[in-house]
Amino acid sequence: MNNTLLKTLFLTAVLAIASQAQAAGVGTNISVRLVGSAIGYDGTELWDAFDLPQPSNPPACFDLDLVDVKTGAVIGGAIDCLTDINPSGDGLALTGTTFFFLPGGTLISRGLTTVQPVTHGSLDFTHITGAIPQAGDNSIIYGDGKFRKSAAPVRLSGAVNLSKLGSDGEITFDCMFAINLARPK
């Protein structure tokens, strides 16, 4: 084979691998969904495992699939933990700590979250949930692997079904997270 053809094949392979890595949610602009139904459990051991300061009350944690928004493929797992839950109007205000187990490493984000009843839309969900960081906020509290020393605002927009929370301890999630990573110099 001639040199030009070899270079073309090599570049095509590199670009295919790079685009697959981006599609798998492992680039610097990560768009993932936490999807599924899960029964909550006390996640205090997670704080110990990642050497995080313990929250003021035991976290209610839920294990979920982590889905790439672009491809719809499951690319890892996530644990969403809720603390500091307080009534706020018709809904709730809480602190959400989310553990993202991504290809290439782990990211943990923390943010103030609003949960409000759905007024119209899908009958599969009872509440809309969201977290909107202020400009310049860093929501990342931990990163390892390729995410070591990463910083980013983390935005949450989603829907949850809380109809079985009181009876079964179960929440159904369909929550999208947008993470635009930067690495401090």
119 Cβ contact list (under 8 Å, min separation 6): none
Q: What is the DSSP letter of 146?
A: G
CB atoms within 10 A of CB 137: 14
16-68 residue pLDDT tens: 333 444 434 457 889 999 999 999 999 999 999 999 999 999 999 999 999 99
Please give the distance of CA 24 from its chain centroid, rounded to a whole number.
Answer: 14
Domain extent for 72: 3-180
Q: Is 95 inside a domain boundary?
A: yes
Q: Is 185 inside a domain boundary?
A: no
Instruction: Please state the domain count of the chain.
Output: 1
Question: pTM of the prediction?
Answer: 0.84
Q: Is 159 inside a domain boundary?
A: yes
89-144 residue pLDDT tens: 999 999 999 999 999 999 999 999 999 999 988 889 999 999 999 888 999 999 99
pLDDT band for position 183 (cuts 50, 70, 90): low
User: What sign for the dihedral angle of Cα 102, 107, 108, 114?
Assistant: negative
